[in-house]
Structure 1
C-alpha cells in the first residue's frame, strides 16, 4: 500500500479521539482516525444489549477459562461474559507490574466510551489553582475560565443530565433535566444538608445519559445495561455521538486494527511528519502522513507512542526533553465508604433501573475546613431496596418461600468515596526492556503507588461516610475499606502533563508537545493534577479546545 497523506491523524477512537475526529472534520480537515482494535458499529455490534440473562451461555458469569485468561480483569467487576471482547486481551497485550497496578483497557473503535461510568463533572477554580498554591508538581497552564466555554460546548453536544446546584466547588453546566433522587435519597439529602448547615450537599449525579431526545438520539430507557452498548443512543459514546457527526462531513477515514508503533519526526522542521502503523491483522507496516497529529490512545498508550518516537534524537522519546514523560501517574483511589439500612418508606419503591446515583461534592480543605492531608474526595452511591435475590430469613420451601420472595426487602444505602491522588514524579511508567506484546512491541512497566497523603485521606473517606449516614438516620451503619491498587479507578492520568515551562512539562497550554508543535495530546496523559471529580468531561473540553486552536494555527501557516 502506498503512503497516504491527510490533513490530520487522530490516534485512538475513545472519548478524546472521537471528539478530535468530530471537531477536525467539521472544520474541513481530511482526517484519518486510527484504532488499534476491531470495529464496533453502532447498534449492529451490540450483540448482548437486548439479551436477557438466560440467553447468555453462562448467564453472564465468569468461567474458569475467563479467570485463567484474564488475571487482571478478574480483580474487579469488569470481567464479565457479556462484553468480554471489549476489554483488552491480556495475553496479547500484557504489562509488567513493578508495583501492583490494575489496568483496564478497551481496544476497539469507541474504546472505553462504550463502557464508561458516564459521570460528568467540571473541574473548578480550586482544582486548577491547587498545584501552584500548595507548591505541588507544576502549575496548570490553564484556569477554569479558559475551559468554561469549552465545557459548555461539549456538554451541549454530548448531552449531560444533571441538577444546577450553584456550587463553586462543582461548577454548573449546560444540563438536560436531571434524573430523580428516590424517596430515601431525598430524605438523606435533606438531613445531611440540615446537619451541616448547607455546607455538604447530596445531589443527583451529573451523567452522560440523556433524559430527553437529543441530537437525533433517543432518551435513556433506564435499562442500566449501558456497558453493553445502547441501541437507543441513550448515553454518550463515540458510536452514538461523535463518530456519526464526523462521518457526516465526508472528511473521515476510519481504520481499525491499526497499531501506531511510533510517530515519524523531522529534526530539521522539528515537527512530526506522520505515523507508522502496524496492521494488527496482517502484520504489515504502513506509513501515513499528516500536518497535525492528535494522540488520544488513552493516557498510558499515548505516552508509550511518544516514548517509541524520535529515539535517535531523544533516547526517552519525543516529548522527553523535560524528564517528565512517563512520570506523574494518577488515578482516583476509592473502594472505601460506608453503608447502612433505612427504616421506613416500606410502601415506596422506585421506577426502572436508573443508570446513575447520588453525588456528594468535595467538602474537605475547602474554605475554613482543614485536614491533615491536602486535596479531597467526593462520594458516589445510592439507595435501593433488595428484591427477590436477597437472602431470605425463612428457611422454607414452597408457598412460604415464594411469598417472602414477592415482597421487596428493606431499604439500604451505600456511598463510596473517590479521592484525588497527587502527581508524584516517582509514580511512573517505562517501556520494558525484556517483555514484548503479541506484535513485538515493548510493553509498559508500572511503578506507582499510594503515598502517605492518600493513606491519611482514606481514613477520612470512611469516617466521614459513616458520620453522614448516621446523621441521616440510617441504622447498622458500617464503614468499609475494600483495598485499592492504582488503576482500579480506570481514570489513569498524567505521564505527559501540561505546564508552562518546557523544562518541567511535556505539553504547553494548548496541549502541544513542546518538542513538536504539530503533535497534540488531549487524553488523560495531559492532566497536570487529577482533582476529585471524574475526568472524562475535562478530556472532551480540552480536546475540542485544542482542535479549534490547531485548525486556527494551520490556517495561519504555523503548523
Structure 2
C-alpha cells in the first residue's frame, strides 16, 4: 500500500483542488488539461489503480472469516459506517473512514458515510447516473420554495453530453422529458424476471415507465477509454472493492490518469485542508492551510483559484472554518452556509418472490438493474406532497443460502441445497427532500477530531412532506408487484435517517442573489470570486435522481469558466 507520494516541490500553483472524489477528479482533469498547474489535495492515503485494490479478485474462502462477518474489535472502529448494512466487510472496510478518528456530533440522527483516500467515494458509489431536467431546475421557483436555481437544463445539457462520453454511461434513450436522454453505451441486459416486470408495469400503468438503469459502466469502450486502460464491465458486481478493469467510472480509472498525462498535476495525499486563506487587501483567496495527516505539521499552499470538492459537508466545514476579519462566521455573507442540508430519503418500498421461470438462470452479476423514473406530480397528477420519487429495482435468484430455512438431512437435503431458490425482487424508492433552512450543520468544539479541529454538528430531520411521500411510495410499490403477479409481497419502511442514502446536498447552495445563496450560476463564490465549489454542497434542491452525474457536469462547466476568467485577468 502506498503511504505517501513525494512532497510537491512548489507551494505556488495555478489551481488547488480540494478533494479527489467524483467532482474533484473532474476539476483536476479539466483544469490540468487546460494548461494550469494543479495541486490536488486529498486528506487520506494514496490508492493507485489496480495495484492497491487488494481484495478485488479474492474469493470468499480467501478471507479469514469468509467475508461473512467482521472481527468485533475491528468493527468497533466503524459504528457509523456500519449503519449502511452493506459497507463494512472484510473486502471493503478499508475504503471507509475510522469513525473513532473522525467524529461528529448528532443533534439528531445523521449517518455520515465517508471514504478518506484518493478517489474518495468514486471507488464505492452506486454508479447510477441520471440527468436533471427543467422540472427539477424550475421546481423551487414554481413552488415558491427556498431559492431559484441559477441555471436551467439548456445551460448544463452540453456538459452532460461531455462528461457522459468520457465517463461511459450504459443506458437506453427512453424519450422521457423529465429524465432527459444522454450519450449512452448499450444498456446492461435484463434477466427474465426484469423482462417480466418491465413488460407488466409498462403495459398496465400509463403514467409510469420501467427503464434500464443508466449506470456508469462501460459496455462498449471508446478509443479514448481504452487508451486510458479501461475495459468493458465483466459483470462481477464487486465494484466497491475497486474495479481492476476500469469498467466503472472512478477517479482512479478515468479522470486521474487523464489529468496525470498532462504533466500538470501534483497529487498530495494525507493533506487535511483546514481552511482557505483570505487576503483582505486583495479581496480574494490566496491559498489553503493544510494539516499533514501523518505528521500533524501545518503547511500553506498558494494558488490563483481554488476548487472545493471535499464532499458537501467537507467543503462546508472548510468554508465555515475559513474565518477572518472580513468573514467572522465563515466565508459567507448570505447566512445560508451550513443550512438547507438535504439527502434522499429511501429504504421504503416492497419486496416479493417470483415463482415462475425457475428453470432459468443468468450468467454473471450485472451491477445495475431497472429504474422507475418519477411519475408523481407530473402534469395533472397532483399529490398531497410536493416533488416525487423514483424506484431502484433490484432482482436476483436465491442461491444455496436458501437452504438455511429448509428442514431435512442426508442426500435429499443436499440435493435441495444445491438447487437455486426463488427469484426475488425489491423496489426501493429514492425520494426528494425539500430544502429546509433549519436542516443545518455547524461547527462545534464539543468534540475535537484526531488533529485538534472542531467537528460538524448535524441537526437534520425529515418532515411531513417526506413522510407523505414515503406512504405513497410503499403503496405504489406493493400495487405494481401485485399487478405483475408476484407472491409473498411485503411492503417496508425502515425509516432511514438522513445521510444513509449518501447523497448529501445543499449547505452552500447556488443562486442568483448573494443575499440568499453562497455560489453563483458558475459555481463561483459570490464574494470571493476565485473560489469555486462543484460538489454536493452547491445543490439548490435535491431532485430524486442520483446526483453524481450532475456534479461531473457542473465541475467541467465551472472549470471551463474559471480558466476563461483567469485568462481575462478577472480572478
| TM-score after normalising by structure 2 | 0.96
Distance 1:431 1:484 in 2: 24
User: Is the CA contact (8 Å cut-off) linking 1:343 and 1:474 kept in structure 2?
Assistant: yes
The SS at the match of 1:362 is coil
User: Is the CA contact (8 Å cut-off) linking 2:25 and 2:255 kept in structure 1?
Assistant: yes
**Equivalent in 87, 91, 96 of residue 96 of structure 2:** 87
The SS at the match of 2:97 is coil
The SS at the match of 2:76 is helix
Distance 2:249 2:567 in 1: 31
User: Is the CA contact (8 Å cut-off) linking 2:287 and 2:302 kept in structure 1?
Assistant: yes
**Equivalent in 49, 52, 64 of residue 72 of structure 2:** 64
The one-character-per-residue Cα deviations of 1:266-311 (angstroms, maximum 9, x if unpaired) are: 1122110011111111111111111000000000010110111133
User: Is the CA contact (8 Å cut-off) linking 1:3 and 1:289 kept in structure 2?
Assistant: no
Distance 1:360 1:283, change over 3 A: same
User: Is the CA contact (8 Å cut-off) linking 2:271 and 2:290 kept in structure 1?
Assistant: yes
**Equivalent in 157, 166, 171 of residue 166 of structure 2:** 157
1:426 matched to which residue of 2?
A: 438
The SS at the match of 1:69 is coil
**Mapping for residues 183-202 of structure 1, pairs under 5 Å:** 183-197=192-206, 199-202=207-210
The SS at the match of 1:326 is coil
Distance 1:26 1:405, change over 3 A: same
Are 1:293 and 2:306 counterparts? yes
Distance 1:234 1:181 in 2: 19
The one-character-per-residue Cα deviations of 1:67-117 (angstroms, maximum 9, x if unpaired) are: 322211221221222121211111111000000000001100000000000
In the comparison of the two structures, how many residue pairs are matched? 557
Q: CA deviation at 1:460?
A: 0.6
Distance 1:439 1:97 in 2: 20
The SS at the match of 1:513 is coil
**Equivalent in 122, 126, 132 of residue 131 of structure 2:** 122
Distance 1:311 1:96 in 2: 25
More displaced stretch, 145-154 vs 393-402: 393-402
Distance 2:395 2:11 in 1: 54
Which runs of 4 or more aligned residues in structure 1 lie more than 3 Å from their structure 2 counterparts after TM superposition?
A: 391-394
**Equivalent in 178, 186, 189 of residue 177 of structure 1:** 186
**Equivalent in 449, 471, 477 of residue 465 of structure 1:** 477
Q: CA deviation at 1:394?
A: 4.3
The unaligned stretches of length 5 or more in structure 2 are: 1-6
The unaligned stretches of length 5 or more in structure 1 are: none
Distance 1:28 1:441 in 2: 35
1:398 matched to which residue of 2?
A: 410
1:438 matched to which residue of 2?
A: 450
Q: CA deviation at 1:62?
A: 2.2
**Equivalent in 500, 504, 520 of residue 512 of structure 2:** 500
Q: CA deviation at 1:211?
A: 0.8
More displaced stretch, 384-393 vs 348-357: 384-393
More displaced stretch, 68-77 vs 486-495: 68-77
The one-character-per-residue Cα deviations of 1:332-379 (angstroms, maximum 9, x if unpaired) are: 100110011123212211121111111000000001111000000000
Q: CA deviation at 1:212?
A: 2.2
2:4 matched to which residue of 1?
A: none
Tell me how large the CA RMSD over aligned residues is.
Answer: 1.2
Distance 1:306 1:333 in 2: 26
Distance 1:194 1:381 in 2: 17
1:96 matched to which residue of 2?
A: 105
